[in-house]
Each structure stands twice: as C-alpha cells, then as structure tokens.
Structure 1
C-alpha cells in the first residue's frame, strides 16, 4: 500500500459524501444547503494517516479471502482538487489497481476515527464486492434492452441513441441501493476487524442528507443503512 498525499482523480464509483455524488456527479437534494468545504487540521491529517495504517491491511486481507484473482493492493489517496465537497469514493486505475480517494473536506468533517474507519471500510467493500464491473454490466444490459426496443418500433437512429443512453442510466442505477447496503455490510466487518466501532462509525450518516426511498435513487435511506450496520455488527 502506498499513501499518496496529493492526487486529482477523474472517475469514481460508489461513494460516501455529505453532498450526494457518484460515478459522475449527482445534484444534492434541493433542500440541502451546500457549505464551503472544510480544511483539515494537523490533527485531522494525523488521524487519517493512523486510520489508513490500521484499516488498509484488514481491507486487503478481506479482499484476498473473499475474491479470486482480484487486485487487492489498495492505493489510498487524498483528492486535493480545489473546492471539492466532503466525499470519499472508490475507483480503479488503468492497471485495475483499486483506489480509495478522500477529499480534504471529508478528512476534516469526520468527527472521530470510527467514522473515518467506517467510510474507508465502506469504500474498500465496493471494490471487494465488484461493484464497478457489476454496474457496468447492468448499464450495458439496460442500453441493449431499451435500444433494442426502440429499434423494433422503427425509431430513428437519433431516438435509438437516446434510448441506449437512457437504458444505460436506468441499468446502472437499478441495483445501486443494494450495492450501497452490501458495502455497508462488508464495511462493518472491515471496520470491526480493524479495531474500530462500526455502529459509532455509521453515525457519519447523520451528517448526510437523507435521500429517502426514491425510485431509481442511488442511495438507500440513511435509517436502512444504519440498521444494516447494527445487524451485521451484532453478528460479529
């Protein structure tokens, strides 16, 4: 594992943020008031480095135990792009190496080590559960289905292209709530095995605007996520 202090990243997959965002970017709920991104203190940075040193080995161990042939060499980075909101996300580089990225604002906003460890475990879990390729498969299936239906109706090439785009978007979102709950569940295991309290860590959700249970929403209700963490933790 290498900790890279400064890195700008262009793509992301599953995320935890105080302004809800995802593989591209999603608008915050209309009622949410965006605040200026926080700046981490020296203590915040030291806390981040400490949590990385304890959570990362556990995440790698869980990855190797639960996958076959997956790249489990997590690269943990800080996304220091100017003005980035409080956010953490998982992606992969060109070689397929998993990257866990944290903005400076998130490092400043987490209230304790448990919250930071849980967010880190959650993002690692997205990779272990294979959510990026699964999301891509869902998007491709949706694009083929809706594009094919449009073609069968004799639609123009422009309409077919639009149907493909819409189908891909719907397909990508179809299981996103389940992916988040899967990441919460495995993130609970990683957090616990790294020596932190996942139930206390999941209190981070109280800082995130509750998305509710929207049709084709990208994240489940915060209450359901906290319930998942408590249930999994009780069984450990």
Structure 2
C-alpha cells in the first residue's frame, strides 16, 4: 500500500525518528562498514521485503491492539511516503477519522538490511499506538504549556515564551520511557509475527546514538537493544 503523505508536519508529536547520520564524524570508517554491516539489498528486494512484512506484522499488531487496548481503533493503515528527498524515518499518527497510521519513508525501506529490521520498526510504531503514547504526549505538552505560562507570568516573563518552553518540556518528559515501552511491545509483535526482534534491533547500530541527553527524545541505543534482548528472552 503506497500513498503520499502531505500531513507529515501534522504528525510531529507522534513521530519516531530513526534517521541515519550524514556527518562524517558519526559514521564508521569505510573498512569497518564492510566488515560489520550487512550489504544493502536491491530496490526490488527491499520492496518485496516490505510487502511481506506488512502482510505478516499488521494482523499481529491488530490482534495485540484489540487484546491490550480494546477501546482503540486497531485497524492499522500502512503507508509509504514516496518523496525521495526524505531521510530514513518511521512514524505513527492518526488520520482525521482516528484510524492509526504507520508511515515509512522510501529511504528507511531501502536502508533496512533484512525483513527482521522492518518488522521490528513496524512493531515499534504499532506499539506507540497501542500504548496510547500520542495522546499521552499531547496531554503532557498541554499541561507543560499551562504550567510554563503560569510560571512566566508570576515572574514577569513573556507568557507565550513560557508556554512554548513548558510545552516542549512536557512533551519530552516521558518520551524516553515511551520509546522503551514501544521497543518492548514492538519486540513482542515482531516475534509473534515470526521475525527475530534481536536481529531487527541491529538497526540501532547504524543510527546516531543520542546518549542520555537531558530532555532528549530517545534513550541511548544500548538501552534500547538491552530492552529488546530482555523481552525477547522472556517470550
């Protein structure tokens, strides 16, 4: 299923960026790439891999959604952003009717080295919806904006600036935990769909490590891989 996504900007709060780095400092030496990374697949294979994963993972994600969050719309729609100038990325959002959307850029599909990686990313994005992370993030952003405005007014600062800062802090307050929760449930979904989530989580070894930055949106890559391994060992 392919569709252009003009609403990417509107999905900002629900985005789960998995961009690869373009700066030389963040990339391993060419010799290391050849030794440690599997080769990229052909365009035809990448498309076939994605289609196969959609067929296997979507029904499992829907089943997990109905079992864990029966109050949600669990009819996932898988879409592809066909713009060739977009970086590797995946996201979860809702359409106007409330239907959950799992979006992938062409670059991410092409960058995946195997079906396990695609399955894990797809399970991860589905997990964001099942865990209601989008609505929780919006609520914390709103609460932070209100609190920021009150604090700014009380000390004589610009209220709008206080609201913007408070909204940013609120939106990011639980983002790292949300990502780890999505990694955990994404592991379950990928495994139950017949894929190897540990192999799929190798995707993290090829993207920049955010470390443990204050108010960062994503946890360290090592923490994410450890979460996948731990959950997988219990399945």
TM-score between both structures, scaled by the size of structure 1? 0.88
Deviation at 1:100, TM superposition (A): 0.5
Query: What corresponds to 1:23 in structure 2?
Result: none
In 2: Cα distance, 1:228 partner to 1:56 partner? 22
Q: Unaligned stretches of 5+ in structure 2?
A: 28-39
Give the structure 1 partner of residue 215 of structure 2. 216
- Residue 49 of structure 1 aligns with which residue? 51
The match for 1:15 is: 16
Distance, in Å, in 1 between the alignment partners of 2:151 and 2:23 is 32
Cα displacement (A) at 1:118:
0.2
After TM superposition, give the deviation of residue 18 of structure 1 in Å: 2.5
Aligned to 1:205: 204
The separation in 1 between residues aligned to 2:3 and 2:116, in whole angstroms, is 21
- 1:188 aligned residue: 187
Q: Does 1:172 align with 2:171?
A: yes
Q: Does the 8 Å CA contact 1:14/1:180 hold for their aligned counterparts? A: no
Shift in alpha-carbon separation, 1:6–1:152, aligned structure 2, 3 A: closer
TM-score normalised by the chain length of structure 2: 0.88
| Cα RMSD for the two superposed structures | 2.0
**Partner of residue 25, structure 1:** none
SS at match of 2:80: strand
Report Cα offsets for 1:151-183 as digits up to 9, x if no partner: 22344xxx0110000000010011100000000
Please report how far the alpha carbon of residue 30 of structure 1 lies from its aligned counterpart in structure 2 after TM superposition. 9.5
Deviates more, 1:183-192 or 1:142-151: 142-151
* Per-residue Cα deviation, 1:33-85 (whole angstroms, up to 9, x for no partner): 7xxxx996111111100000000000000000000320100000010123000
Superposition pairs of residues 136-175 of structure 1, within 5 angstroms: 136-155=138-157, 159-175=158-174
The 3 A distance-change label for structure 1 pair 16 and 117 is farther
Displaced runs of 4 or more, over 6 A: none
Change (3 A) 1:30 1:144: farther
Measured after TM superposition, the shift of residue 16 of structure 1 is 4.2
Identify if the C-alpha distance between structure 1 residues 164 and 202 changes in structure 2 by more than 3 Å, giving closer, same or farther.
Answer: same
